[in-house]
Amino acid sequence: MSTLRVLAEDRIATALVWGAALAVSAFFLWILGDVVRHGTGALSLEFLVSEPLSAGRAGGIGPVIVSTALLLMVTLAAALPLGLGTSILLAEVTRKGGAMAMAVRRSLDILAGVPSIVFGLFGNAFFAVRLGLGFSILSGGLTLACMVLPLLVRVTEAGLRAAPDEYRTAAAALGFSRTTTLLRLLIPAAAPALAAGLVLAIARALAETAALLFTSGYGIRMPRSLMDSGRSLSVHIFDLAMNVPGGESHAYGSALVLVGLLLGINGAAFLLAERWLGGRVVGA
């Protein structure tokens, strides 16, 4: 009787797990299908390279794509060194229960729960006004870096802590320095977590709207430098959908481009982690 009950509970649990996975997949496919169905008609080479006309109702999204790429570049250039350095500090330098480590983790957890609009107000007050950067791509990228740091640090720290302790003891026995151990063993071993943190950070940066309204602005022309105002794809989609009558078609087309970018970056990041970083463990 108990055996039958255990089998029944196991089958129920398996069915629930598969049901949850299928529900998530179905929800994603429904959103993707809706974007593809409504956005394919607007998609063309001219749409990708030309400038917006008539407040975005006509023309393309060339300057918007360039602004989005520049925003992402600034975000990653600021967030990656700080995020990786903080992760190494928390995972390899400080004691897990130490006061400093606890304070940093608590600060990161609080920052992760701060609404994006608050980051936008902070970015406007500090980067745009206090530092004199104004409404610019640089202000927007630095604000996004502040937003993605908590996520990037916590995921990367978890990946470094998950690296086998045998790597550390073997490296110490062979006389490896701490830097060599990190670069040749621990970071490659944590490659999947690094890729996951990078993808999540990029996804949040690309999808952010509220914070950029207060920092990078609405500039729709082709940016000439990081000090120019620039409109990201997410802001462009929001503006077309909410403020521009007749802009729904181009909003869906822009959304399709944004989803394509996210899927492409996702695949590229995990491929890089598997083939490059992961491969360094064997050759270390």
DSSP secondary structure letter of residue 232: -
CB 167 within 8 A of CB 96: no
Strand partners, 59: 52
Question: Percent of the chain scored above 70 by pLDDT?
Answer: 93
Residue with tokens 């908590």: 150
pLDDT at 281: 43
> Average pLDDT for residues 121-146, to the nearest whole number?
93
Rounded to the nearest integer, the mean pLDDT of the chain is 85
Query: H helices of the chain, where?
Result: 2-39, 45-49, 62-88, 99-112, 116-123, 137-162, 165-173, 178-181, 187-189, 191-207, 210-213, 233-243, 248-272, 279-283
Band of pLDDT at residue 175, cut at 50, 70 and 90:
confident
Under CATH, to which class is 43-283 assigned?
A: mainly alpha
Question: Side chain identity at 269, as an amino acid letter?
Answer: A
Residue with tokens 């995020």: 83
What's the CA gap between 130 and 114, in Å, rounded?
21
pLDDT at 97: 66
The predicted model scores a pTM of: 0.84
Structure tokens of 40? 């394919």
**Would you say residue 187 has pLDDT above 90?**
no
pLDDT at 73: 93
**Would you say residue 284 has pLDDT above 50?**
no
Structure tokens of 20? 């949850």
- Which has more confidence, 148 or 280? 148
pLDDT at 283: 41
pLDDT at 282: 40
CB 98 within 8 A of CB 86: no
DSSP secondary structure letter of residue 41: G
Among 95-99, 124-128, 144-148, 189-193, which is the least confidently predicted range? 95-99
CB burial of residue 175 (10 Å; 0-12, 13-18, 19+): exposed
- Which has more confidence, 57 or 62? 62
Structure tokens of 194? 């690094």
Residue with tokens 């006509």: 58
**In the chain, domain spans:** 2-41, 43-283
